[in-house]
C-alpha cells in the first residue's frame, strides 16, 4: 500500500510541472500580478481535472 505522503508528492510534482508550462513570457507579460495568480490556478486546475471550475 502506498503512503499518503508519496501520493501527495506526486500531485505536487504534477502541479509544479503545470505551473512551469504556464510560465511563458506571453502569460507573464499579459496579466497583472493578481490576475496572473488566478489564471495560473485555473490553468493548473484545467490540467488536473480537465475543466476550469
Total domains in the fold of the chain: 1
- Specify the pLDDT at position 53: 59
Whose grid coordinates read 496579466?
Answer: 31
User: 10-23 pLDDT, tens per residue?
Assistant: 899 999 999 999 99
d(CA 52, CA 26): 20
The range of the structural domain enclosing residue 33 comes to: 4-49
User: 20-43 pLDDT, tens per residue?
Assistant: 999 999 999 999 999 999 999 999
Residue 3, by phi and psi: left (phi above 0), alpha (psi -120 to 50) or beta? beta
Kindly report the pTM of this predicted structure: 0.77
Amino acid at each position: 500500500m502506498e503512503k499518503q505522503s508519496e501520493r501527495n508528492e506526486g500531485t505536487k510534482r504534477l502541479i509544479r510541472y503545470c505551473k512551469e508550462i504556464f510560465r511563458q513570457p506571453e502569460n507573464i507579460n499579459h496579466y497583472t500580478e493578481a490576475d496572473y495568480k488566478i489564471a495560473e490556478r485555473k490553468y493548473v486546475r484545467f490540467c488536473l481535472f480537465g475543466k476550469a471550475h
